[in-house]
Structure 1
C-alpha cells in the first residue's frame, strides 16, 4: 500500500514535471508535503503571474509544466493569464486544492463548487477524482490530455485524498506513455503538392505553431526553395520567419478587409501552423480577393474546423514542409536581408523605434524577447532584426499581465540564451509581482519598461471606434524603479539615447529593470 501523494509525486518525477510554479493555500499543503528533493517549487505572489511564468517556461522548453493554484479563488485569479496559455497551446497542467470531501457538498469555506466546470471552456480537459484511489490516474490523464491536446488542463483534488492509502493498482500509471502520430497520407501530400505547383503566384502565411514546433529553420528553407513571399499570421505570439528577410512581407493586419487587400494578386494562400485567421479590429470585407484560394495546414483540428473559408489539412506541418521541399525549386533571388530604416525620433522623449534600435544593436543576436507593448507594434517590427527561432514571445490572446512573468519563465526554462522583457507601463502593472520571483531566484533577465503614461493601444482603439472622449486611458505618476527596488530588483531610469545604450551594453548576472520614458505611438 502507498499513498496517493507518493504515487503522484513519483509519476510526476518520471514524466519530468519536477518544476512547479505555484502560489499555495491551505488546501494545497497536503500535496506539497514530502515533496522529493528533485522537485523545484517556484513561488509567485499572484496566480496570474504564476500562470504567466509557467506559460513562458512551457513555451521555451516545449514540455508540460505543473501549476499549483489555490482552490476556486486562486483558479479565478489565474484565468486572465490562462487565456494566453490556451492560444499559445502551452501544455500547462493546472492543479488546485479542494476542500475535504465531507465538506464540499455543504459548501464549506474554500470549497470549489462544481470544480470541473470552473475553468471551462478555457481548458482542454478538467476533472476531479471520484475517490482517492482515482487521484493518480486522474493526474496522469491531466498530463496526457495537455500533451495530446496542446492545451492547458485542470485537476481539482480534495486535500484529504493525498494522504489516503490506496491499493497497488493505482501504481500502474507510473509506467504509462501516450504518444501521438499525425503524419499526412501520401494522397494528402500529393493533393497539396498539386495545389502549390498549379499556383501562378502563391503566398505563404506562417503561424506561431511553426516556431513552437521547432520548424523555424525548415520554414525559412521552404520559403527560399519556392521563392514564396511570406507573411506572419495576424497577432503573432511567436516569430515564425526572420522579419528582415528579403521574402518577409511583415505581419498580416488583423482585419478581414485588410488581409484581403494584402493578398491581392495571389491565387493561392498557403497557411502553415496558424488559425484562419485571428481577427481583432472589425474591418469588414471579403475574406480573400477574387481569384484567391486558401489552403490551411495545421495540427489543431479545432482551428481547422472553425475556419470560415478555404480547405484544411489536419496534419503535422513539419511533415508537410519536408514534402514541399521535394518540389522543384522556383526561380528567385539569393536570400538576403533588408536593412532597417533609420529610427524615428521624437522631440520630448525617446521614440520607441530608438529604443528598439538600441536593443537590436546592443543585445546578442540570439536574445529571446518577451514583448507586451501593444501600442509600439509597428515600431518594433520596423527596427528589430530577428533571425533565430524562439526569439519572440507575445501574449497569444492579448491578456495583459503576460510580459513580466513570462520573461521570468522563459529565462528559467532556458538560461543559456539572454532574455529581455519589453513591457509597456500599462501592461507591467498586471504582472508586477513577477519582479519578486525574479529577484528571489536570481533570474538573469532584463526588463525594459516603456513609460508613456498612457494605455496607448486603448487610445488608438478609441480613435478607431470614434470614441475619443472615453475616460481611463491615462496612467500618470508611476515610478517603476521604486517599485522594482521594493521587490529587490536593481533598477534605473533613462531619458537619453546614449544613456540607454550604455545601460543595455552592461551585463547583469541577475534581474535588472530599465525604465525608459517614450513618446506616444500607435500599433500601426
Structure 2
C-alpha cells in the first residue's frame, strides 16, 4: 500500500527538523492530523494571530522555518496582522491553511477560501494551492527552501481537506537535497567599501536586525574595532546588532530624516549593515545623510537595495559581507571616537518611573536572559537603562503592529528552554494577544511577563504632538486587572505599585519554574 500525501508531508517536515506545529485547529485541517506522530509537538494557541506570533518567535530563536496551521479564509484573516509582522521581521514560516474538499469548490461551500492564495499576499514570499493532491509534498519542499532563502520570510500553502488521504505519486520522488542560501557580494563593488573605510577620517557603522539574523555579531564588533568606527543602531531595529555597553556604541538613530542627518553629521563614511536606508516614521525634507558623507549599504534583499535612495548598495549575506570587509586593506590610523554619555542612575523612593523599572530589570536579570519587547512608548527609556550586549538577546516587532510580543515570547521560550525569557509589554499592546498567557501556562514555560502599565496608549499620545494634537481621542485605557487575567489563564500574577516591591518581585519571578506576570504601575519618565 502506497504512502498517503499526509505521510509524505510529515516525512518531509521531519527531514527539515520541523517537528513543532503551531495551530488553532479548524474543521478543514483535521485530516492533516490523523494519527499525529509521537515525535511531533502540537502547540495550541487560542487565536490565529497568537499562533503566528508564537511560531515567529520560535523560528527566529531556532533559526529554522516553523510550521503554522490555520483555518481557511477566516483563520488566515485573523492571522494577517502577525503574518505582516513576520514578513517585516524576515521570519521563515510555512503557513498552511485548510481548504474545503476539491469536489465542492465548483460552488461556494461553507468555510472555504475563494482565491485562497491571494488572501495572504503581498505579505508572503510565495503562495500556492497545488493543482493535485499528489503535488502537496513537492510544494512543501519548494516552500521550505523559499522561506529559508534570503531575504527569509513566510510562505503559504492552501491544502484541500481531502488531499491528505490521497496516495502519493510514485513517479514524483522527493529525495533530500540541499539549497545554498548564502549570497556572496560582487568583489569589485565590495572593494569600493573596503577602500572607503580604510581611508575614512571618521567612519561609522549603522547596524540593523540583519546582523543578528545572519549571525554576524562577532564579525561586526571586529570590524568596528578595526576601524575605530562609531556604531549606531538603525532606526526601529528589531534585534540587537552590537553590544550597547561597548565604548564604540553611539546610540540609536531616530526614525526621522532630520534626526538621522543630525546624528551622522560628523561621519564622512557610513556603512549600513543589514538595514534599509532608512525606515522613517515621519516625513522629512532635505538630504538623507549630511552633505559630504559617502554611504554604503550591505543588505541581503535586492528589493530593499533597489529603493535605497542614495549611495552604493551591495547585495550580500551580511555575515559573508562583513567577513570580506575584514579582509580589506588596513585602515589609516585614527583616534578612538568619544564615548557615549549614559544617563545617571535613578533613585526614586515614592513612585516607579519607566526608568526605574528598566534599571531594576537590568540589575536583576540573568546575563543569558532574552527580552522580547512590545512597549513602544517605553522603548526610548529602555534604550537608556536596559542595554543588550549579546546576540540573540533582544527581539521586537519590526512592523510597528501590536500583538506580536507576548506570543513571540512564548515561541522563544519553547525554542530556548535553558534561557530565561522576559516579555516586556505595554498595557495596551498586551491586550492584542493576551490569550498567549494560556499557552505559556499550558506549556509550563518559565517566562516573566512584565506589563508596563501607564493606563494609556501612551505612544499615540506622544505621536499626536507631531500633528499638533493636544488631546487625542481613544488613547486612555480603563483599569484592567492584568494580574487577575494572568491568574485566570493559569499563570502567577501580581501587581507592583511601590518601588520597594519591585526588585523582590522581579527576582522571585525570574526564579520561578512556571510563568509569572508582573503588572508594574509606572509614571512617565519623559
| TM band (smaller chain) | over 0.9
Matched, 1:120 2:121: yes
- Alignment partners' CA distance in 1, 2:350 and 2:283: 33
For residue 519 of structure 1, what is the aligned residue in structure 2? 523
Q: 1:476 to 1:283 in 2, by over 3 A?
A: farther
- Alignment partners' CA distance in 2, 1:338 and 1:321: 24
8 A Cα contact 1:348 1:519, kept in partner: no
Matched, 1:213 2:217: no
Q: 1:492 to 1:335 in 2, by over 3 A?
A: farther
- Alignment partners' CA distance in 2, 1:346 and 1:278: 36
Alignment of 1:7-22 (within 5 A): 7-22=8-23
8 A Cα contact 1:22 1:67, kept in partner: yes
8 A Cα contact 1:227 1:330, kept in partner: no
CA positional deviation for 1:349: 3.5
For residue 60 of structure 2, what is the aligned residue in structure 1? 59
- The secondary structure found in structure 2 opposite 1:166 is coil
CA positional deviation for 1:87: 1.4
Write out per-residue CA displacement over residues 204-240 of structure 1, whole angstroms, 9 at most, x where no aligned residue.
1011010111111221121111100110110010011
- The secondary structure found in structure 2 opposite 1:288 is coil
- The secondary structure found in structure 2 opposite 1:423 is strand
Write out per-residue CA displacement over residues 469-497 of structure 1, whole angstroms, 9 at most, x where no aligned residue.
33100002101001001100001111122
Alignment of 1:319-334 (within 5 A): 319-326=320-327, 327-328=329-330, 331=333
For residue 393 of structure 1, what is the aligned residue in structure 2? 395
- Alignment partners' CA distance in 2, 1:167 and 1:320: 43
8 A Cα contact 2:100 2:112, kept in partner: yes
CA positional deviation for 1:331: 4.5
For residue 362 of structure 1, what is the aligned residue in structure 2? 364
- Alignment partners' CA distance in 2, 1:333 and 1:417: 39
- Alignment partners' CA distance in 2, 1:449 and 1:479: 11
- Alignment partners' CA distance in 1, 2:338 and 2:13: 46
Q: 1:308 to 1:453 in 2, by over 3 A?
A: same
Q: 1:344 to 1:281 in 2, by over 3 A?
A: farther
- The secondary structure found in structure 1 opposite 2:178 is coil
CA positional deviation for 1:366: 1.9
Matched, 1:510 2:511: no
Q: 1:311 to 1:54 in 2, by over 3 A?
A: same
Matched, 1:373 2:375: yes
CA positional deviation for 1:343: 4.1
For residue 252 of structure 2, what is the aligned residue in structure 1? 251
Alignment of 1:407-426 (within 5 A): 407-426=409-428
Write out per-residue CA displacement over residues 114-141 of structure 1, whole angstroms, 9 at most, x where no aligned residue.
0111110000110101011111111211
CA positional deviation for 1:49: 0.7
8 A Cα contact 2:99 2:158, kept in partner: yes
Alignment of 1:483-498 (within 5 A): 483-498=485-500
Write out per-residue CA displacement over residues 365-420 of structure 1, whole angstroms, 9 at most, x where no aligned residue.
12110111110111101101321111111111011011110111111111121110
For residue 262 of structure 2, what is the aligned residue in structure 1? 261
Worse overlay, 319-328 or 53-62 = 319-328
CA positional deviation for 1:103: 1.7
For residue 25 of structure 1, what is the aligned residue in structure 2? 26
8 A Cα contact 2:93 2:147, kept in partner: yes
- Alignment partners' CA distance in 2, 1:141 and 1:325: 35
Write out per-residue CA displacement over residues 336-360 of structure 1, whole angstroms, 9 at most, x where no aligned residue.
9868533456797411110011111
Q: 1:479 to 1:229 in 2, by over 3 A?
A: same
- Alignment partners' CA distance in 1, 2:76 and 2:350: 43
8 A Cα contact 1:233 1:274, kept in partner: yes
For residue 482 of structure 1, what is the aligned residue in structure 2? 484
Worse overlay, 88-97 or 493-502 = 493-502
8 A Cα contact 1:2 1:168, kept in partner: no
- The secondary structure found in structure 2 opposite 1:400 is coil
- Alignment partners' CA distance in 1, 2:321 and 2:145: 25
Q: 1:382 to 1:508 in 2, by over 3 A?
A: same
- Alignment partners' CA distance in 1, 2:345 and 2:464: 26
8 A Cα contact 2:355 2:525, kept in partner: no
For residue 92 of structure 1, what is the aligned residue in structure 2? 93
8 A Cα contact 1:374 1:457, kept in partner: yes
Alignment of 1:183-202 (within 5 A): 183-202=184-203
CA positional deviation for 1:189: 3.2
8 A Cα contact 1:255 1:284, kept in partner: no
Q: 1:499 to 1:125 in 2, by over 3 A?
A: same
Matched, 1:406 2:408: yes
Q: 1:188 to 1:284 in 2, by over 3 A?
A: closer
Worse overlay, 266-275 or 446-455 = 266-275
Matched, 1:37 2:38: yes
- Alignment partners' CA distance in 1, 2:500 and 2:344: 16
For residue 129 of structure 1, what is the aligned residue in structure 2? 130
Q: 1:416 to 1:14 in 2, by over 3 A?
A: same
For residue 283 of structure 1, what is the aligned residue in structure 2? 284
8 A Cα contact 1:94 1:154, kept in partner: yes
- Alignment partners' CA distance in 2, 1:21 and 1:266: 46
Q: Which runs of 5 or more residues in structure 1 are unaligned?
A: none
- The secondary structure found in structure 2 opposite 1:66 is strand
- Alignment partners' CA distance in 1, 2:82 and 2:277: 23
- Alignment partners' CA distance in 1, 2:286 and 2:408: 36
Matched, 1:443 2:445: yes
- Alignment partners' CA distance in 2, 1:363 and 1:339: 23
CA positional deviation for 1:174: 4.3
8 A Cα contact 1:244 1:338, kept in partner: no
CA positional deviation for 1:248: 1.0
Q: Could you state the TM-score of these two structures normalised by the residue count of structure 1?
A: 0.96
- The secondary structure found in structure 2 opposite 1:52 is helix
- The secondary structure found in structure 1 opposite 2:367 is coil
